[in-house]
Structure 1
Amino acid sequence: MSHTSYTCLGGGHGLYQTLTAARVAGASPINAVVTVADDGGSSGRLRREMEIVPPGDLRMALAALTSEGDGGSMWRDTLQHRFGGHGAMAGHALGNLLITGLAERLGDTQAALDQVAAWTGSAGRVIPVCPQPLDIEADVAGLDDDPRVLRSVRGQVAVATTPGAVRRVRLTPAQPAASEAAVRAILDADVVTIGPGSWFSSVIPHILVPEIAQALNDTDARVVVILNLSPEAGETHGFTTERHIHVFSQHAPQLKVDYFLADEHTATSAGERDNIARAAARLNAQVVFAPLREVGEDGTALNRHDPQQLAAALQALRPAR
């Protein structure tokens, strides 16, 4: 039986749901290519103290891929365990410390991630998008009395929580080298997903890495951008689905994308859907609407992708290249 290989780009909870969907789809192998710009919380502290790639999003991806069964469940809980209290350990996730300690011991973050993957019976490989940490800088409107004035805001947390409107983001360093393993994972995949997640701070930064953008254009894989279910407070407040696609294409106008995948309830009028299709056409992409949203036990729609529905939607996409 031949398997479909997935490479999933993103970070945080959005990537966790996509990796879970890839598992539901029976993908093998699964590669997670993970953002390395986090500068808040436990990750930010470890990044500053140890001068390493921030481990939090890497840990989340490892947790999504632990083996089935009780052993995998125990590993997932262990990786995600967060220390309480008010001392030096307070707020640190155990998985972050494990990755950091192994990276120091083995002299290499990728070796550390591969070791944790081996211990946890991982369904795939977790790869930092770049071998060194990155910083995000954004041009933000609305922080000045004059709404036309753009202010520069630096740092993932600052960008994600700004009360202003983010217009554009860039990376520091400006053209970072990608992890060779990340490039290879994109080139070798059958399906590549980008998103969902914090649009300006964990989705768009991937396509600003030149070798990643080149690999996305060179791969024979279906390249699918999974759109967010709703705008996020802070960086994309008030954004329509069309605006999400527009800013994505603004940051990488030469990128080849096959599909934008949106929840069926994101845009209900024909006019809205036409505008969304036009925005996607700038990247020669099609828009597919499908039921993607998780529903709670009480029938309430949640702001989270349902892995079963997402897997079904991804499997239904035809090869487009």
Structure 2
Amino acid sequence: MTMLTGQIPLVPPRGEDGPGERIRVTALGGGHGLSASLSALRRLTPDITAVVTVADDGGSSGRLRAEFDVLPPGDLRMALAALCDDSDWGRTWRDVMQHRFQGRGAVPSSLENHALGNLLIVTLWELLGDPVDGLKWAGALLGARGTVLPMSTTPLAIQGTVLSESASGELTRTVVRGQANLAHASHLGTIQAVELEPQDAPACREALEAIELADWVILGPGSWYTSVLPHVLLPETRRALEATTARRLLTMNLNTKTRETPGMSAADHLRVFKRYAPDLRIDAVVADPGAVDDVEAFRAAAAELGAVCFFDKVGTASGRAVHSPLRLANAYQDVFTSFMNRESGSEEP
């Protein structure tokens, strides 16, 4: 099988269907947030590259990572599933990838709570010996409308410093290690700082190329400290984001006061982002108006990043804090069109 490596094109040539006919997008993130942006983007363009965090250490991914010394496959699986189209083939393979085993017999199952897609991805990695090639073949099997890449081919760990206050007013700093632990650290206090280990891990070469060649790079939505910020914590990726000629768009969460970010406003999220990437210019920020409590403060924080704000209703009609793929696709299309008109001199965004 390794002889077949390379027959599936990783990055199609720019403008293969004619100049200006397709927008090339590179989306960075992890988990459900990246899945939401990919589900929206595949409705707009087939030229999508997903760059996925690889610091997860919980659940099925954590078990496979520890047992096989591989990248955590869970967020990569979710990105592949999100890029499946709405045909019978796409829906079937999406469900297959997301299926989790639940033992029903008298004997405890070693497959308990493993996602089949995680096992498939790890199988391809073992057969091919390369994480990027394995993901290419998984995407080809699914008919995915895009390419999925790891942020780094080195498994990463994330840790954070959590500030807590005792009943007497004494402040204590606690180091919380591991993505799964950090995502639930709010019971200890407020996250003050995060970092990756190893701090100088190499970025995936193909991911850096996708950032360089993109027309738009999209970060978020997602868990701010464990899915969005890791991309700017990796030095090579941050430098690539700073250097790319692509437009850069930041997608805000629908719920700003999560288990990772209790007490933080939407503007606070932008300020934290700027603290970790002070030289990274953002062109546009997409936010649901219902998730922004202080519009003027939010606009000011966006301006510090160099960004223009776009307010659109992007949540589902149910009112739950879940992005609607169709509404988010419309919001992205509005941003793309606005900047295209601006560059042609016909409109300001």
1:182-261 map, 5 Å: 182-261=207-286
How far 1:143 sits from its partner (Å)?
6.7
Gaps of 5+ in 2: 1-17, 344-349
Aligned residue among 97, 120, 127 for 1:98: 120
What's the CA shift string for 1:146-179, capped at 9, x where partnerless?
Answer: 5532211110011100112111110001122100
- 1:115 aligns with 137
Change (3 A) 1:194 1:94: same
What's the CA shift string for 1:233-264, capped at 9, x where partnerless?
Answer: 42111211011111111111111111121102
How far 1:144 sits from its partner (Å)?
5.4
- 1:83 aligns with 101
What is the distance in 2 between the residues matched to 1:24 and 1:273? 29
1:293 aligns with 2:318: no
What is the distance in 2 between the residues matched to 1:67 and 1:311? 14
Give the RMSD, CA atoms, in angstroms. Answer: 1.6
What is the distance in 2 between the residues matched to 1:260 and 1:307? 17
What is the distance in 2 between the residues matched to 1:221 and 1:294? 29
Secondary structure of 2:250's partner? Answer: strand
What is the distance in 2 between the residues matched to 1:147 and 1:119? 56
1:1-321 map, 5 Å: 2-25=21-44, 27-85=45-103, 86-142=108-164, 146-162=169-185, 163=187, 164-267=189-292, 272-296=294-318, 301-317=319-335, 318-319=338-339
Secondary structure of 1:169's partner? Answer: strand
How far 1:290 sits from its partner (Å)?
1.3
Secondary structure of 2:26's partner? Answer: strand
What is the distance in 1 between the residues matched to 2:51 and 2:165? 33
Contact conserved, 2:257 with 2:265, CA < 8 A, in 1? Answer: no
Aligned partner letter, 2:145: A
What is the distance in 1 between the residues matched to 2:292 and 2:74? 33
Q: Give the TM-score of the pair, scaled to structure 1.
A: 0.93
What is the distance in 2 between the residues matched to 1:310 and 1:147? 44
Aligned partner letter, 2:244: T
Secondary structure of 2:290's partner? Answer: coil
Secondary structure of 2:322's partner? Answer: strand
How far 1:219 sits from its partner (Å)?
1.5
Contact conserved, 1:208 with 1:251, CA < 8 A, in 2? Answer: yes
Aligned partner letter, 2:98: Q
What is the distance in 2 between the residues matched to 1:310 and 1:48? 36
Task: Pick the structure with greater CA Rg.
Answer: 2
Contact conserved, 2:165 with 2:171, CA < 8 A, in 1? Answer: no
What is the distance in 2 between the residues matched to 1:74 and 1:217? 39
What's the CA shift string for 1:11-63, capped at 9, x where partnerless?
Answer: 111111100110122x1311100010000000000001111110000000010
Aligned partner letter, 2:321: N
Contact conserved, 2:253 with 2:291, CA < 8 A, in 1? Answer: no
Change (3 A) 1:66 1:267: closer
What is the distance in 1 between the residues matched to 2:94 and 2:46? 20
Aligned partner letter, 1:12: G
What is the distance in 1 between the residues matched to 2:165 and 2:96? 41
What is the distance in 2 between the residues matched to 1:67 and 1:108? 26
Worse overlay, 74-83 or 253-262: 253-262
Q: Give the TM-score of the pair, scaled to structure 2.
A: 0.86
Aligned partner letter, 1:42: S
What is the distance in 2 between the residues matched to 1:33 and 1:147? 41
What is the distance in 2 between the residues matched to 1:213 and 1:122? 27
Identity of aligned residues (%): 42
Aligned partner letter, 1:114: K
Aligned partner letter, 1:154: R
Change (3 A) 1:92 1:144: farther
